[in-house]
Amino acid sequence: MAVAAQPYTDKTDEQRAITEMVRQFVDEQIIPNAEHYDHEDEFPAPIVEQMRELGLFGVTIPEEYGGMGLDLTTYTMIVEELSRGWISISGIVNTHFIGSYLLMKFGTDEQKQRFLPKMATGEIRASFSLSEPEAGSDVQGIKSTARKLDDGAWEINGQKMWVTNGLMSGVCFVLVKTDTTAEPAYKGMTCFLAEKKPGVHENTGALAGFTVPPKIKKMGYKGVESTELVFDGYRCPAENVLGGEEAGVGQGFVQMMDALEVGRVNVAARGVGIAQRALELALRYSQERKTFGKQIAQHQAIQFKLADMATQVDAARLMTLRAARMKDAGERSDLEAGMAKLFASEAGRFCVEECFRIHGGYGYSKEYEIERLYRDAPLLLIGEGTSEIQRMVIGKKLLQRHKI
């Protein structure tokens, strides 16, 4: 069936079963416990363990490697449900998903055999690292390097920033420069599979030179750690160049940008999830709270807010699923992924703020879930390309497609 003819929100029986299962898990295990982990800024280990049991770390990994072998569309539906509960939980899955995508698309057979089965079960989880203290949007401006040693290994040096799952991951897909003189700069960049011990700050032995400083203190998006990474003489074997040395050296930027495209659909789904939750909370509270002798939901000004929120949630969901379905159908979807990420992350921020306003003073109280959502939502405006960068991507792709 042609993608365009398929209603974007239609679910197959399998998709319905899996999203209902995830929704139940979210309602029973994530929403009631998120406040605790958020308040303590504690890694939600029991929830992650249950996610492993549900197979959620292997959703898109092929069955031959022990995963579920599901498509991006189904994954997107799952991420929306998880994010409706708490976006930190979807953050734990997100970088892992990007790592598995990189391996599935660019990895050598040996790399796939070595990593994917353990990643499918969540035994090892992945992080990915482009950003540095002085370069986020401008990826080509990174300074970390890798140089080839006489014995064939690569030595990585440099500092990375804002690595989600930086401490708890067992492998980090890290982008560094292998040719600092390359023009343009992106041609001199390579992605390495930097292995490390999960949960260990100072790696030793064969992994020495890979340090994870204490986690960065954040306004929201708590529970999942964001860290710097310090590489100081860290030795990475040649077989850990993504795609192998011959095919992979100098290809890191292109590989990472490809992965960011699916990453954007994933962030869009997180925007839909948090927006959906804000709408649910607003619908409930507005029918509980009374002012001037009636439910606040009966004031037209509040109904207009609910209407705008519901419209944004719907539009964001449709755009996100369209981008995912196009990617699954093998169609070019870079423009649509950028548009979905921009719209859905802004919709998340909008809906959360409207929900906050509807809660009046109670929205400012930690007694109400909206307070957490209000601190969590802004992350989506930044991660995987800010709204400004998204507009640049959309503008560039538009002009490419409509060149006169």
Ligand X SMILES: Cc1cc2nc3c(=O)[nH]c(=O)nc-3n(C[C@H](O)[C@H](O)[C@H](O)COP(=O)(O)OP(=O)(O)OC[C@H]3O[C@@H](n4cnc5c(N)ncnc54)[C@H](O)[C@@H]3O)c2cc1C
Check binding of 252 to ligand X (CB under 6 A): no
**How far is it, in rounded angstroms, from Cα 41 to Cα 43?**
7
Q: How far is the CB of 189 from ligand X (least distance, A)?
A: 13
Q: How far is the CB of 164 from ligand X (least distance, A)?
A: 3
Question: Within positions 202 to 221, which residues make up the interface with ligand X, using CB under 6 A?
Answer: 218, 221
Taking the least distance from each CB to ligand X, the nearer of 245 and 258 is 258
Rule CB under 6 A: choose which of 122, 136, 243, 273 binds ligand X.
Answer: 136
Check binding of 141 to ligand X (CB under 6 A): no
Question: Within positions 34 to 53, which residues make up the interface with ligand X, using CB under 6 A?
Answer: none
Stretch that binds ligand X, among 21-29, 34-42, 103-111, 383-391 (CB under 6 A): 383-391
Taking CB positions, which residue lies at the least distance from ligand X? 136
Check binding of 389 to ligand X (CB under 6 A): yes
Burial class (CB in 10 A: 0-12, 13-18, 19+), 383: buried
Check binding of 158 to ligand X (CB under 6 A): no
Check binding of 382 to ligand X (CB under 6 A): yes
Rule CB under 6 A: choose which of 24, 137, 291, 311 binds ligand X.
Answer: 137
Stretch that binds ligand X, among 17-25, 130-138, 304-312, 364-372 (CB under 6 A): 130-138
Contact by Cβ (8 Å): 146, 140: no
Rule CB under 6 A: choose which of 32, 40, 388, 401 binds ligand X.
Answer: 388
Rule CB under 6 A: choose which of 51, 163, 236, 355 binds ligand X.
Answer: 163
Q: Within 13 Å of residue 225, how many CA atoms lie on the same side as its CB?
A: 21
Q: Quick one: CA torsion of 172, 219, 372, 377, rounded to 10 degrees?
A: -70
Taking the least distance from each CB to ligand X, the nearer of 65 and 192 is 192
Burial class (CB in 10 A: 0-12, 13-18, 19+), 224: buried
**How far is it, in rounded angstroms, from Cα 139 to Cα 159?**
14
28: which DSSP letter?
I
Q: How far is the CB of 390 from ligand X (least distance, A)?
A: 9
| Catalytic positions | 384
**How far is it, in rounded angstroms, from Cα 31 to Cα 36?**
10
Residue 68, CA distances (Å) to 96, 119, 166, 295 in order: 15, 12, 25, 46
Q: How many residues bind ligand X (CB under 6 A)?
A: 20
Rule CB under 6 A: choose which of 57, 106, 128, 374 binds ligand X.
Answer: 128
162: which DSSP letter?
E
Rule CB under 6 A: choose which of 130, 212, 323, 393 binds ligand X.
Answer: 130
Q: How far is the CB of 60 from ligand X (least distance, A)?
A: 18
Contact by Cβ (8 Å): 154, 146: yes
Check binding of 379 to ligand X (CB under 6 A): yes
Q: How far is the CB of 327 from ligand X (least distance, A)?
A: 21
Contact by Cβ (8 Å): 202, 175: no
**How far is it, in rounded angstroms, from Cα 267 to Cα 273?**
10
Angle of the 87-106 helix axis to the 31-40 helix axis, nearest 10: 90
Rule CB under 6 A: choose which of 74, 90, 131, 169 binds ligand X.
Answer: 131
**How far is it, in rounded angstroms, from Cα 75 to Cα 124?**
19
Question: Within positions 91 to 120, which residues make up the interface with ligand X, using CB under 6 A?
Answer: 95
Residues forming contacts to ligand X in the complex (CB under 6 A) are 95, 128-131, 136-138, 162-164, 218, 221, 226, 379, 382-383, 386, 388-389
